[in-house]
Amino acid sequence: MSKYRITVEGKTYEMDVELIGANGSVQPVAKAAPVVTAPAAAPAPAASKTAATSTGAVIAPMPGTILKVLKVQGDSVKAGEVVLVLEAMKMENEIVAPADGTISILTLTAGSTVAGGDLLFEVK
């Protein structure tokens, strides 16, 4: 018998797993009992087109390569307007302005690589 611990929808369970006999006899496969643990962190939102903080800073939602930069520092933007395109996991992700304003920080160029959590640009 082997012990395993799994977490499903934020609840952690300990499981005892037994093999089913070669003759096909069915034995209990798993016995699960809830385990009291600290609440799991809220899951990250699904990959959104923009990860922004309340200050207008837009961070990279995942590591990738900048394919296109459609705006430059000093340009005016409207909320939802595409500022750049980030390629990650063979997908093109349009990164949009979180609010109306002016791009105050944007130093990336096409071909730049970014890590998840890096600052992409800021709108003020």
Which tens digit of pLDDT belongs to each residue from 55-91? 589 999 899 999 999 999 999 999 999 999 999 888 9
Whole-structure pTM value: 0.56
**Whether residue 64 is found in the same domain as residue 21:** no
Q: Please check whether residue 43 lies inside any domain of the structure.
A: no
The reported pLDDT for the residue numbered 7 is 76
Is pLDDT above 60 for 34?
no
Q: Please check whether residue 64 lies inside any domain of the structure.
A: yes
DSSP structure string for 20-73: PPTT------EEEEEE--PPPPPPPPP--S-EE-TTSEEE-SS-EEEEEE---T
112 in Cβ contact with 65 (< 8 Å):
yes
The dihedral through the CA atoms of 52, 53, 56, 59 has a sign that is: negative
CATH number at residue 82: 2.40.50.100
Higher-confidence residue of 14 and 102: namely 102
**Whether residue 58 is found in the same domain as residue 89:** yes
Q: Please check whether residue 45 lies inside any domain of the structure.
A: no
Q: Which domain holds residue 14?
A: 2-35
In the chain, the number of structural domains is 2
Q: Please check whether residue 6 lies inside any domain of the structure.
A: yes
Q: Please check whether residue 67 lies inside any domain of the structure.
A: yes
CA dist list (Å): 101 to 33, 34, 47, 73, 121: 53, 50, 24, 11, 12
